Amino acid sequence: MLWLVVTLVLVLFAAGTVISAVYLFPGLFMNPFSRVLEVELDEPVVIISDIHDDSSLPPEFLDKIKEIGPRAVIFAGDLFDEAHRLVSVDELEEMLESKIGLLPKSVEKIVYVLSLASHDPIVWREVIEFELSSRKVIVTKLCLKAVVNSLSIYVTHGDKSCRNGALAHVVNGLASFFGVDLFLERMLRRYLENRSWLVMGHTHIPGISHKYFVVNTGSWKEYYRRASKSFALVNGGKVQLIFV
């Protein structure tokens, strides 16, 4: 009888471990890009994540992109900090209005890729479209496929790789210590076609690899580490990581 109990405990422990791993690291087991929102955007395109501010945008970021004159801005999740609650479309528009009004006049289109795990508002619909300040705004729960001239750029917040941001930070930090930079980004990137870029945030550890076609945009608030104050820029057929 004892061996039966021990076996049952071990089986339950193993099953619990597997279920926890699948839940915490969904992108390691399932393709998060099986369904995406595809949007065509004109250069220059700015991609920023992890602002973590409920009312405004970083002044340094705004000053920098005024110099660039982007046609489109992609917010790759954690645009807000304490807004993870169910909201209506009207509430969402009201929350975004002050932020979008701060963007330079060159910006014609804004895409907001939500973090589903925390911080960002919760919405029912997968894709919401409206206009604010005479600009087209798209909010989506799906991963984004941005087509920018000849480039295909997939954008997710990063919670598709690891649901918990603190854990994602630790995982990428440990992997980097052992010589593997941008580990979670590279794990997600393996689902994509050749020469497609993956851009995400979430870990708050900025980085870019032209070898593996991955970018992490870093963060603008001190969580786990100092804010990197960085964003990705797509312009002239190239992807860059810009530090302010």
Sequence ranges of the domains in the chain: 1-30, 33-243
pLDDT over threshold 80, residue 29? no
Q: How would residue 23 be classed by pLDDT, with cut points 50, 70 and 90?
A: low
For residues 6-33, average pLDDT: 58
The label of the residue with tokens 């900090």 reads 81
Residues in CB range of 178: below 8 A, 6 or more apart: none
pLDDT over threshold 70, residue 173? yes
For residues 127-149, average pLDDT: 96
For residues 92-114, average pLDDT: 96
Q: What stretch of H or E contains 240?
A: strand 238-243
Q: How would residue 194 be classed by pLDDT, with cut points 50, 70 and 90?
A: confident
Q: How would residue 10 be classed by pLDDT, with cut points 50, 70 and 90?
A: very low
Q: How would residue 12 be classed by pLDDT, with cut points 50, 70 and 90?
A: very low
Q: How would residue 110 be classed by pLDDT, with cut points 50, 70 and 90?
A: very high
For residues 130-142, average pLDDT: 95
**Alpha helices of 33-164 — where are they, by DSSP H?**
59-68, 89-100
pLDDT over threshold 50, residue 221? yes
Class of the CATH-defined domain 33-243 = alpha beta
Q: 159, 202 in Cβ contact below 8 A?
A: yes
pLDDT at 131: 95
**Alpha helices of 88-162 — where are they, by DSSP H?**
89-100
Q: How would residue 30 be classed by pLDDT, with cut points 50, 70 and 90?
A: confident
